[in-house]
Structure 1
Amino acid sequence: MAVTTLVGAALPATAAEDHKAVNLPLTGFTDILVDPGRGHVFVSNRADNAVVVTDLSGTLIRRLDNQPGASGLALSADGGTLFVALSRGGAISAIDTLTLAETARHRVGDGTLCPKELAVSGNKIYFGYACHTGDANFGSATVGSTFGDVRLDLLGPDEYGAPLLATSPGRPDLIATAVTGVSPSTARIFRDTGTGLVEQASAWVGDYVKDIELSNDGAYFHSVGSGSPYDVRVYTTEGLVPQAGYETDAYPNSLAVSRDANVLAGGVDIAFGPAVYIFRDGSRTPSRQYDFTRLATDKTLLAPGGLAWGPGGEHLYAVTIDSVTAGATLNVLRG
């Protein structure tokens, strides 16, 4: 793996401002993950076969190359390893979060699968995969001292698009999935019994789901999709029973739940007006909104799945893109 040290061109910001933007050395965006332990933000892009690393202020540190089809990102339970789904490599790479060097590359299946989504719970890593429309499914493997016990086709029959995945620190036995690219989209909640997965709930959760999360205690499933009503939707994980949502504008495409603060963010794909909504302490009224067209940022469209919380819910990281030109901008927003 080639590692390039970079110097970034950050747009001006002062400590008193609520926003800072950094243009990333990527042609687009696939996934974002914050490592609060090491103080890193990771941003991947499938087309560049790369993952960019910044610090929590958005300052560029390195670009990790030779990651074929770099897609979904996940941290190991101990925070020591970053996993990268290699959608063009039929594998999952392991990156040491201290040295930022690749330490292993694990094939999934026979190496012909295309892993795109990742989620970790305890010593299990789950991966959603699809090489072509209609051959999507998800699998699991054990991680730790070894990578093994790979299991495939956990959804049963193949689905349309690679399923989104979500886990919860409060319920490590739960794994949530939602199939992408279809309307309506079906979400499922699985429970790990120790010997296998048991489906405990399944329901339609809107049109063309773009992002999902589980609450910290595992009691609630959150999703956003491009269909009406336009909000961050909330369901119980026991039965996927609808609850009161968090209203946004059209068309929701991103959400993020802080892991150490009672704060949630929802984002929308909109050319003008607020694109990010922040909700604190369970309130359905946003405490902050951000309109990228009114901020000093080169890219103004929120990328699908482009939100992630920093430690303590103090800052929200948002990746913006452009519908015409290549590139991606990392926006650091005050939470």
Structure 2
Amino acid sequence: MGTTTAAADTSSSLPISSYRDIAVDAAHQQVFLSDPFGGSVLVTDYTGQVVKRFSGEAGAWGLALSSDSRTLYVALRDAGAIAAIDTATLEETARYDTGTGAGVYAGPTSLALAGGKIWFGYSTDTWHGALGALDLSGAEPVVTRGQGLDTFRSSPRLAATPQHPDTLVAAESDGNAATLAVYDVSTGQADTQAKRVDPGPDGCESLQDLALTPDARQVVVACAAAHYHQVFRTADLADDGIYTTSWSPDAVAIAPDGTIAAGVYGPSRPDVQLFTQGNSTAFASWDFPSPSDYADTTVETAGLAWAPDGSRVFAVTETSGSSALTLQVLNHPQVATTVTVQAPASSPRNQDLTLTGKLEAPVGFGAGSTVDIWRLDDPLAGEGTLIGSAPVAADGTFGYTDRPRAKGDVQYTVQYYGDARHAYAYGTATVDITSD
């Protein structure tokens, strides 16, 4: 199936000149962006229109949204703290001292929710990084630090997934050869499960971003010195595939259904591509227009995020030679879908006849998907009768049992009406209905 190239559906200029992280709040249809050098957190709606800008958020770096979308946590590197923002009232409700100290080689940067805690990466000094955790489950907040020591040379970047909350992945991001580590945090401590230095067939220098698949079996990384996005198995961090992008990968985000959005920096094209998990060839892509022959619009490091329902991708871009930032809203394109139907060549009338089939598309089918079944007793006349519907399983399969009464050729048509991500499709099968 070929690649579909599209333009951004919405493009909005942002009133900030620095950027580090993005979080999407589906409950209130809001997008949060950190502005570290402006000391603020920007809030927009799903079209990129500004809702609010928080000031007084010194060194706002990494963001993490609670599982119920009620609270946004912000790593404040230059304050040595983690702030909590109510996503409904858009007010800061708490601030927790991490005890790390504040500033470039001290304060917290990346955040991830795992094991019932808020994990953060921070620097212990100029040449070392570590992991810490903020536990809010008790009467008083509890901070632990000093985990993952002697692994990272700077504040590590973190990744987790809500479907498997006991797995935490951390990666070196100081510009040298990356160190990648997987931890089990179910006990409240970061217990190392796997660790690898300079991973990948061509190494991994200057790691820019990483994301964990929903099943927590793979981690996808964007390393600036590579020509593709790399995939590693979390069990042992062995090489586990690539996604064919181009020089130089700098962003990756994974939807709840496993669809990978991959972004690159610089004049390479395309800027953003979509992949199904395990398929190295993209099925959709976007190119962002450049304002002139001397300037290019490119994806920011860690500048991609999915809406939790998978309906769109948000991309933060910058125009080269300026500090102008833009929020691009990329509606997920409908992908081509096929329906295959299997039925017996003949079947006695007034007896059960079972149809089976499968929907196939580059993107998986969500819970609640159905197909309609139509029966035409005379294939030469009319459009037939709607006789029922059938649920579609996660792998696209479906089944339906009918009891036809008319003799002769009966045509069954299975219709799938599509959704925001899948195009309409249908398939047919003809059965010779014989005497009882």
Deviations 1:145-203 (A, max 9, x none): 65623111211137322101011222211110001124321100011241522101011
- Alignment partner, residue 11 of structure 1: none
| Separation in 1, partners of 2:275, 2:8 | 16
1:53 corresponds, among 43, 46, 55, to 43
Moved runs in structure 1, 4+ residues, more than 3 A? 110-113, 144-147
- Alignment partner, residue 173 of structure 1: 166
What amino acid is aligned across from residue 191 of structure 2 in structure 1?
V
| Separation in 2, partners of 1:200, 1:279 | 28
- Alignment partner, residue 155 of structure 1: 148
Contact 2:115–2:188 (CA<8 Å) still a contact in 1?
Answer: no
Q: Is residue 2:272 matched to residue 1:276?
A: yes
Equivalent runs, 1:310-329 vs 2, <5 Å = 310-329=307-326
Q: Is residue 2:304 matched to residue 1:307?
A: yes
- Alignment partner, residue 377 of structure 2: none
- Alignment partner, residue 233 of structure 2: 236
- Alignment partner, residue 143 of structure 1: 136
Contact 2:129–2:149 (CA<8 Å) still a contact in 1?
Answer: no
- TM-score for both structures, normalised by structure 2: 0.69
- TM-score for both structures, normalised by structure 1: 0.88
| Separation in 2, partners of 1:188, 1:311 | 26
Compared with structure 1, are the counterparts of its residues 143 and 27 closer, same or farther at alpha carbon in structure 2 (3 Å cutoff)?
A: same
- Alignment partner, residue 12 of structure 1: none
Q: Output the aligned Cα RMSD.
A: 2.2
Could you tell me how far 1:132 is from its partner in structure 2?
5.5
Contact 2:100–2:124 (CA<8 Å) still a contact in 1?
Answer: no
Q: Is residue 2:243 matched to residue 1:256?
A: no
Compared with structure 1, are the counterparts of its residues 254 and 270 closer, same or farther at alpha carbon in structure 2 (3 Å cutoff)?
A: same
Contact 1:253–1:269 (CA<8 Å) still a contact in 2?
Answer: yes
Compared with structure 1, are the counterparts of its residues 147 and 25 closer, same or farther at alpha carbon in structure 2 (3 Å cutoff)?
A: farther
Equivalent runs, 1:129-140 vs 2, <5 Å = 129-130=122-123, 133-140=126-133
Deviations 1:103-157 (A, max 9, x none): 0010001544311111112520011113763132221121246562311121113
Could you tell me how far 1:57 is from its partner in structure 2?
2.0
Contact 1:134–1:158 (CA<8 Å) still a contact in 2?
Answer: no
- Alignment partner, residue 207 of structure 1: 205
* Secondary structure of the structure 1 residue equivalent to 2:289: helix
| Separation in 1, partners of 2:7, 2:285 | 14
- Alignment partner, residue 6 of structure 1: none
Contact 1:77–1:123 (CA<8 Å) still a contact in 2?
Answer: no
1:96 corresponds, among 86, 89, 100, to 86
What amino acid is aligned across from residue 218 of structure 1 in structure 2?
A
Contact 1:141–1:147 (CA<8 Å) still a contact in 2?
Answer: no
Q: Any stretches of 5+ residues in structure 2 without a counterpart?
A: 1-5, 333-436
Could you tell me how far 1:272 is from its partner in structure 2?
4.8
* Secondary structure of the structure 2 residue equivalent to 1:156: strand
Deviations 1:67-88 (A, max 9, x none): 0111100012222110001011
2:190 corresponds, among 188, 193, 197, to 197
Contact 2:7–2:286 (CA<8 Å) still a contact in 1?
Answer: no
Deviations 1:39-79 (A, max 9, x none): 11001110010111111122211111110111100012222
- Alignment partner, residue 31 of structure 2: 41
| Separation in 1, partners of 2:113, 2:189 | 16
Contact 2:290–2:296 (CA<8 Å) still a contact in 1?
Answer: no
| Separation in 1, partners of 2:275, 2:268 | 20
* Secondary structure of the structure 2 residue equivalent to 1:154: strand
Compared with structure 1, are the counterparts of its residues 35 and 147 closer, same or farther at alpha carbon in structure 2 (3 Å cutoff)?
A: farther
Q: Any stretches of 5+ residues in structure 1 without a counterpart?
A: 1-15
Contact 1:51–1:70 (CA<8 Å) still a contact in 2?
Answer: yes
- Alignment partner, residue 224 of structure 1: 222
Which protein is bigger by CA-based radius of gyration? 2
Could you tell me how far 1:312 is from its partner in structure 2?
2.3
| Separation in 2, partners of 1:57, 1:292 | 17
* Secondary structure of the structure 2 residue equivalent to 1:172: coil
Contact 2:112–2:159 (CA<8 Å) still a contact in 1?
Answer: yes
| Separation in 2, partners of 1:210, 1:41 | 21
| Separation in 2, partners of 1:143, 1:95 | 14
Equivalent runs, 1:95-114 vs 2, <5 Å = 95-109=85-99, 111-112=101-102, 113-114=106-107
| Separation in 1, partners of 2:238, 2:163 | 19
Contact 1:272–1:293 (CA<8 Å) still a contact in 2?
Answer: no
Contact 2:247–2:265 (CA<8 Å) still a contact in 1?
Answer: yes
Could you tell me how far 1:28 is from its partner in structure 2?
1.9
| Separation in 2, partners of 1:147, 1:74 | 20
What amino acid is aligned across from residue 211 of structure 1 in structure 2?
D
| Separation in 1, partners of 2:277, 2:157 | 26
| Separation in 1, partners of 2:212, 2:100 | 31
Equivalent runs, 1:10-49 vs 2, <5 Å = 18-49=8-39
Q: Mean alpha-carbon deviation: is it higher for 136-145 or for 82-91?
A: 136-145
1:119 corresponds, among 112, 116, 121, to 112
| Separation in 2, partners of 1:123, 1:271 | 41
* Secondary structure of the structure 2 residue equivalent to 1:286: coil
Identity across matched positions, percent = 32
| Separation in 2, partners of 1:94, 1:159 | 27
What amino acid is aligned across from residue 71 of structure 2 in structure 1?
T
